[in-house]
Protein backbone atom coordinates (compact mmCIF):
# COMPACT_ATOMS: atom_id res chain seq x y z
CA UNK A 1 0.00 0.00 0.00
CA UNK A 2 2.88 2.40 0.67
CA UNK A 3 3.78 2.24 -3.05
CA UNK A 4 0.34 3.57 -3.92
CA UNK A 5 0.48 6.37 -1.36
CA UNK A 6 4.00 7.24 -2.49
CA UNK A 7 2.76 7.43 -6.07
CA UNK A 8 -0.09 9.77 -5.11
CA UNK A 9 2.32 11.97 -3.14
CA UNK A 10 4.62 12.15 -6.17
CA UNK A 11 1.74 13.06 -8.49
CA UNK A 12 0.72 15.81 -6.09
CA UNK A 13 4.24 17.09 -5.38
CA UNK A 14 3.78 20.38 -7.24
CA UNK A 15 0.31 21.08 -5.83
CA UNK A 16 -0.73 22.24 -2.36
CA UNK A 17 -2.90 19.64 -0.61
CA UNK A 18 -5.25 22.34 0.70
CA UNK A 19 -8.54 21.05 2.04
CA UNK A 20 -8.41 17.24 1.87
CA UNK A 21 -11.29 14.76 1.82
CA UNK A 22 -10.71 11.06 2.52
CA UNK A 23 -14.02 9.92 1.04
CA UNK A 24 -13.80 6.33 2.28
CA UNK A 25 -11.39 6.41 5.17
CA UNK A 26 -9.63 3.59 6.95
CA UNK A 27 -6.66 3.12 9.24
CA UNK A 28 -4.07 2.97 6.43
CA UNK A 29 -5.24 6.00 4.48
CA UNK A 30 -5.81 8.14 7.57
CA UNK A 31 -2.39 7.28 9.00
CA UNK A 32 -0.80 8.43 5.73
CA UNK A 33 -2.94 11.54 5.35
CA UNK A 34 -1.98 12.73 8.83
CA UNK A 35 1.61 13.03 7.59
CA UNK A 36 0.67 15.50 4.85
CA UNK A 37 0.69 19.31 5.12
CA UNK A 38 -3.04 19.66 4.59
CA UNK A 39 -4.90 22.81 5.63
CA UNK A 40 -7.65 20.62 7.02
CA UNK A 41 -8.70 16.99 6.70
CA UNK A 42 -12.18 15.48 6.53
CA UNK A 43 -12.32 11.68 6.79
CA UNK A 44 -15.60 9.88 6.04
CA UNK A 45 -16.61 6.38 7.07
CA UNK A 46 -19.90 4.53 6.82
CA UNK A 47 -19.63 2.82 10.22
CA UNK A 48 -19.23 4.09 13.78
CA UNK A 49 -17.21 0.94 14.51
CA UNK A 50 -14.52 2.14 12.09
CA UNK A 51 -14.27 5.44 13.96
CA UNK A 52 -13.51 3.54 17.16
CA UNK A 53 -10.99 1.28 15.41
CA UNK A 54 -9.16 4.26 13.93
CA UNK A 55 -9.07 6.00 17.29
CA UNK A 56 -7.68 2.88 18.96
CA UNK A 57 -5.04 2.43 16.25
CA UNK A 58 -4.06 6.05 15.58
CA UNK A 59 -5.03 8.04 18.65
CA UNK A 60 -7.14 11.20 18.81
CA UNK A 61 -7.60 13.48 15.83
CA UNK A 62 -5.35 16.51 15.43
CA UNK A 63 -7.02 19.91 15.60
CA UNK A 64 -7.33 20.28 11.81
CA UNK A 65 -9.11 16.94 11.33
CA UNK A 66 -12.71 15.77 11.54
CA UNK A 67 -13.95 12.20 11.18
CA UNK A 68 -17.56 11.89 10.04
CA UNK A 69 -19.88 8.91 9.81
CA UNK A 70 -22.24 9.23 6.88
CA UNK A 71 -23.72 7.62 3.79
CA UNK A 72 -22.92 9.07 0.39
CA UNK A 73 -26.38 8.03 -0.81
CA UNK A 74 -27.74 10.79 1.45
CA UNK A 75 -27.85 13.89 -0.80
CA UNK A 76 -27.55 16.19 2.21
CA UNK A 77 -24.30 14.67 3.47
CA UNK A 78 -21.51 17.27 2.99
CA UNK A 79 -23.77 19.04 0.50
CA UNK A 80 -22.19 22.21 -0.86
CA UNK A 81 -18.68 21.44 0.42
CA UNK A 82 -15.71 21.19 -1.93
CA UNK A 83 -12.14 20.07 -1.41
CA UNK A 84 -8.83 20.79 -3.07
CA UNK A 85 -7.77 17.14 -2.88
CA UNK A 86 -10.09 14.14 -2.72
CA UNK A 87 -8.87 10.62 -1.94
CA UNK A 88 -11.17 7.72 -2.84
CA UNK A 89 -9.19 4.77 -1.52
CA UNK A 90 -10.97 1.54 -2.56
CA UNK A 91 -14.24 3.41 -1.97
CA UNK A 92 -16.05 2.24 -5.10
CA UNK A 93 -15.51 -1.45 -4.35
CA UNK A 94 -16.53 -1.11 -0.69
CA UNK A 95 -19.75 0.79 -1.32
CA UNK A 96 -22.08 -2.18 -1.73
CA UNK A 97 -22.00 -2.71 2.04
CA UNK A 98 -23.42 0.78 2.64
CA UNK A 99 -25.02 2.04 -0.57
CA UNK A 100 -25.66 -0.81 -3.02
CA UNK A 101 -25.83 0.06 -6.72
CA UNK A 102 -24.74 3.65 -6.03
CA UNK A 103 -21.30 3.42 -7.63
CA UNK A 104 -22.04 5.39 -10.80
CA UNK A 105 -23.80 8.10 -8.80
CA UNK A 106 -20.87 8.14 -6.39
CA UNK A 107 -18.60 9.19 -9.22
CA UNK A 108 -20.95 12.12 -9.85
CA UNK A 109 -20.84 12.97 -6.12
CA UNK A 110 -17.05 12.97 -6.26
CA UNK A 111 -17.23 15.48 -9.11
CA UNK A 112 -19.33 17.80 -6.94
CA UNK A 113 -16.86 17.49 -4.09
CA UNK A 114 -13.65 17.97 -6.09
CA UNK A 115 -12.42 21.51 -6.60
CA UNK A 116 -8.85 20.49 -7.45
CA UNK A 117 -7.82 16.88 -7.94
CA UNK A 118 -9.23 13.42 -7.28
CA UNK A 119 -7.07 10.36 -6.61
CA UNK A 120 -9.11 7.18 -6.99
CA UNK A 121 -7.63 3.84 -5.92
CA UNK A 122 -9.27 0.59 -6.98
CA UNK A 123 -8.78 -3.13 -7.38
CA UNK A 124 -9.33 -4.78 -10.73
CA UNK A 125 -11.96 -7.53 -10.20
CA UNK A 126 -10.40 -10.99 -9.85
CA UNK A 127 -13.40 -13.24 -9.17
CA UNK A 128 -15.19 -12.87 -12.52
CA UNK A 129 -13.38 -15.21 -14.92
CA UNK A 130 -11.26 -18.25 -14.18
CA UNK A 131 -7.57 -17.32 -14.68
CA UNK A 132 -5.15 -19.36 -16.76
CA UNK A 133 -2.22 -19.42 -14.29
CA UNK A 134 -2.01 -21.66 -11.19
CA UNK A 135 -1.40 -18.67 -8.91
CA UNK A 136 -4.29 -16.73 -10.43
CA UNK A 137 -6.56 -19.74 -10.17
CA UNK A 138 -5.97 -20.18 -6.46
CA UNK A 139 -6.52 -16.46 -5.76
CA UNK A 140 -9.74 -16.72 -7.80
CA UNK A 141 -10.87 -19.73 -5.75
CA UNK A 142 -10.12 -17.99 -2.46
CA UNK A 143 -12.11 -14.94 -3.56
CA UNK A 144 -15.05 -17.03 -4.70
CA UNK A 145 -15.10 -18.99 -1.44
CA UNK A 146 -14.92 -15.78 0.62
CA UNK A 147 -17.88 -14.32 -1.29
CA UNK A 148 -19.80 -17.56 -0.85
CA UNK A 149 -19.39 -17.37 2.90
CA UNK A 150 -20.46 -13.73 2.99
CA UNK A 151 -23.60 -14.52 1.00
CA UNK A 152 -24.45 -17.65 3.02
CA UNK A 153 -24.09 -15.69 6.26
CA UNK A 154 -26.41 -12.93 5.04
CA UNK A 155 -23.74 -10.33 4.26
CA UNK A 156 -22.73 -8.53 1.07
CA UNK A 157 -19.38 -9.11 -0.66
CA UNK A 158 -17.40 -6.19 -1.98
CA UNK A 159 -18.08 -5.48 -5.66
CA UNK A 160 -14.94 -4.24 -7.37
CA UNK A 161 -15.13 -2.34 -10.65
CA UNK A 162 -12.74 -2.50 -13.61
CA UNK A 163 -10.38 0.36 -14.27
CA UNK A 164 -11.94 0.87 -17.71
CA UNK A 165 -15.42 1.30 -16.19
CA UNK A 166 -14.15 3.82 -13.64
CA UNK A 167 -12.34 5.83 -16.33
CA UNK A 168 -15.50 5.98 -18.45
CA UNK A 169 -17.63 7.06 -15.47
CA UNK A 170 -15.13 9.75 -14.48
CA UNK A 171 -15.16 11.23 -17.98
CA UNK A 172 -18.96 11.05 -18.11
CA UNK A 173 -19.19 12.88 -14.78
CA UNK A 174 -17.05 15.78 -16.01
CA UNK A 175 -13.53 14.78 -15.04
CA UNK A 176 -10.43 14.90 -17.22
CA UNK A 177 -8.07 12.04 -16.48
CA UNK A 178 -4.57 13.27 -15.66
CA UNK A 179 -2.76 10.00 -14.92
CA UNK A 180 -3.36 6.27 -14.61
CA UNK A 181 -1.09 3.59 -13.22
CA UNK A 182 -1.39 -0.12 -12.48
CA UNK A 183 0.28 -1.86 -9.57
CA UNK A 184 0.75 -5.61 -10.05
CA UNK A 185 -0.27 -7.63 -6.99
CA UNK A 186 1.69 -10.42 -5.34
CA UNK A 187 -0.50 -11.99 -2.67
CA UNK A 188 1.34 -13.39 0.33
CA UNK A 189 0.50 -15.81 3.15
CA UNK A 190 -1.10 -12.97 5.12
CA UNK A 191 -3.74 -12.53 2.38
CA UNK A 192 -4.42 -16.27 2.22
CA UNK A 193 -4.91 -16.57 5.97
CA UNK A 194 -6.94 -13.37 6.30
CA UNK A 195 -9.40 -14.35 3.57
CA UNK A 196 -9.80 -17.93 4.77
CA UNK A 197 -10.00 -16.90 8.43
CA UNK A 198 -12.89 -14.67 7.38
CA UNK A 199 -14.59 -17.81 6.09
CA UNK A 200 -13.79 -19.90 9.17
CA UNK A 201 -15.13 -17.21 11.50
CA UNK A 202 -18.48 -17.32 9.69
CA UNK A 203 -18.99 -21.08 9.80
CA UNK A 204 -21.50 -20.72 12.63
CA UNK A 205 -23.64 -18.48 10.39
CA UNK A 206 -23.97 -20.86 7.43
CA UNK A 207 -26.56 -23.67 7.27
CA UNK A 208 -25.64 -26.36 9.80
CA UNK A 209 -25.65 -29.23 7.32
CA UNK A 210 -22.96 -27.47 5.23
CA UNK A 211 -20.55 -26.58 8.03
CA UNK A 212 -18.45 -29.74 8.16
CA UNK A 213 -17.87 -29.91 4.41
CA UNK A 214 -17.20 -26.18 4.13
CA UNK A 215 -14.76 -26.25 7.04
CA UNK A 216 -12.80 -29.06 5.40
CA UNK A 217 -12.82 -27.18 2.10
CA UNK A 218 -11.50 -23.99 3.73
CA UNK A 219 -8.60 -25.80 5.40
CA UNK A 220 -7.80 -27.83 2.30
CA UNK A 221 -7.63 -24.66 0.22
CA UNK A 222 -5.50 -22.98 2.89
CA UNK A 223 -2.97 -25.83 2.80
CA UNK A 224 -2.83 -25.78 -1.00
CA UNK A 225 -2.55 -21.98 -1.23
CA UNK A 226 0.13 -21.59 1.44
CA UNK A 227 2.24 -24.30 -0.16
CA UNK A 228 2.01 -22.61 -3.54
CA UNK A 229 2.72 -19.16 -2.04
CA UNK A 230 5.86 -20.49 -0.38
CA UNK A 231 7.00 -22.28 -3.54
CA UNK A 232 6.44 -19.29 -5.85
CA UNK A 233 7.42 -16.53 -3.45
CA UNK A 234 3.91 -15.10 -3.60
CA UNK A 235 0.78 -15.47 -5.72
CA UNK A 236 1.08 -13.04 -8.61
CA UNK A 237 -2.31 -12.10 -9.99
CA UNK A 238 -4.20 -8.97 -10.98
CA UNK A 239 -3.53 -5.36 -10.13
CA UNK A 240 -4.53 -2.31 -8.14
CA UNK A 241 -4.86 0.98 -9.98
CA UNK A 242 -4.60 4.69 -9.25
CA UNK A 243 -6.42 7.25 -11.40
CA UNK A 244 -5.74 10.97 -10.99
CA UNK A 245 -8.43 13.24 -12.41
CA UNK A 246 -9.42 16.90 -12.37
CA UNK A 247 -12.72 18.63 -13.13
CA UNK A 248 -12.97 19.69 -16.77
CA UNK A 249 -13.12 23.44 -17.02
CA UNK A 250 -15.94 23.29 -19.59
CA UNK A 251 -18.08 20.74 -17.63
Helix (H) or strand (E) run with residue 217 in it: helix 211-232
CA distance 67 to 45: 8
Contacts of 216 (CB under 8 A, 6+ apart): none
Q: Which residue has the higher pLDDT, 222 or 96?
A: 222
Whether 1 shows a pLDDT value over 90: the answer reads no
Asked whether 184 and 239 are in contact (CB, 8 A), the reply is yes
Q: Which domains does the chain have, with CATH numbers?
A: 1-125+160-184+238-251 (3.40.50.150), 126-157+189-233 (no CATH)
Determine the angle formed by the axes of helices 211-232 and 189-200, rounding to 10 degrees.
180
What is the maximum span of the chain, computed from C-alpha positions, in angstroms?
60
* pLDDT at residue 134, rounded to an integer: 96
CA distance 94 to 24: 8
pLDDT, one tens digit per residue, over 9-68 is 999 999 999 999 999 999 999 999 999 999 999 999 988 888 889 889 999 888 899 999
Q: What pTM was estimated for this model as a whole?
A: 0.92
* pLDDT at residue 49, rounded to an integer: 87
Asked whether 126 and 251 are in contact (CB, 8 A), the reply is no
Helices (H), 75-174: 91-94, 103-113, 134-152, 163-173
Q: Give percent of the chain above pLDDT 70.
A: 99
Amino acid sequence: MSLIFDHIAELNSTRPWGRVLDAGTGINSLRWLRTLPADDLTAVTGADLMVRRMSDALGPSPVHERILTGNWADPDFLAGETFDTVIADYLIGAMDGFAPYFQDEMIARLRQLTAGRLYLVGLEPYVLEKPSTPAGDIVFRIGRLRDTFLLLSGQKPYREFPMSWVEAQLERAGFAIVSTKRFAIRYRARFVNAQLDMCAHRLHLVPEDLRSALSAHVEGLRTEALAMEARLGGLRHGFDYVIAAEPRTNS
